[in-house]
Amino acid sequence: MIDLHYWPTPNGHKITMFLEETGVPYRLVAVNIGTGDQFKPEFLKIAPNNRMPAIVDHEPLQGGAPISIFESGAILLYLAEKTGRFLPKDIRGRVDVLQWLFWQVGGLGPMAGQNHHFVQYAPEKLQYAMDRYVNETNRLYGVLNKRLADHEFIAGEYSIADMASYPWIVPHEKQQQNLDDFPHLKRWFHAIKQRPATARAYEKGKTVRPEVPPAMTEAERKVLFGQTAANVK
């Protein structure tokens, strides 16, 4: 059994997508990031960066004490190696998946995240910041579209690289991106959306957060965007 400390955000959806694809037994532990659950001492013990998702594997492959893992890319890699699924065993295939996994965690996720922040959440609408991150998101969509022109999935076969990227494309309209401008990406996006495991993963999110409020409260804004080093002591 794996405990998944989770909230239905793009990074959270990555892990439920993998777990639903593989059928690994897991238990959702809600981490309400709007109320500050991510700063609780018990959560910081397994996720020192006070960010979800994080997992605790109570039955690691080599036995012994439970293993805790934080950071979504590290979790996907750990689960792929544990199950032998969605990560090629040959060196070339493995490298291909890993470089695109790291492309997502180092590029698409952070840049789209800043896009979300300045376009949707920032109290001041700073045109330079909005243009910077909307344009960079657009560039990254272009990179992915070019890759998918001659690949069914990002690294050939469906893999953890796809599971990492897909949730960050789901909010494409909020990111001010038009999928019609990226036909290969659009084809890939709908292929993943139609997978039964993807649908189940997104339904899991509704069990911990049935409704998404229309706007962020001031209290939530302070929790999400007003933290300093004092919050991790």
Mean pLDDT value across residues 49-54:
96
Q: Which of 80-84, 204-208, 219-223 is least confident?
A: 219-223
Mean pLDDT value across residues 51-55:
97
Residues 93-151 have pLDDT tens digits of: 999 999 999 999 999 999 999 999 999 999 899 999 999 999 999 999 999 999 999 99
d(CA 191, CA 139): 22
State the pLDDT at residue 133: 98
pTM over 0.75? The answer is yes
State the pLDDT at residue 145: 98
Residue 224 pLDDT grade (very low, low, confident, very high; cuts 50, 70, 90): confident
State the pLDDT at residue 214: 66
State the pLDDT at residue 230: 82
The three-state secondary structure class of 7 is coil
Nearest Cα residue to 45 out of 27, 69, 20, 11: 69
**What tokens does 27 get?**
């238990």
Residues 159-217 have pLDDT tens digits of: 999 999 999 999 999 999 999 999 999 999 999 999 999 999 999 999 988 777 767 77
State the pLDDT at residue 99: 98
**What tokens does 89 get?**
């065993």
Mean pLDDT value across residues 34-50:
93
CA 5 to each of CA 12, 45, 70, 150: distance values in angstroms, whole numbers, following the listed order: 8, 12, 9, 36
Residue ranges of alpha helices (H) inside 104-182 are 109-116, 127-148, 160-169
Q: Which is higher by pLDDT, 89 or 224?
A: 89
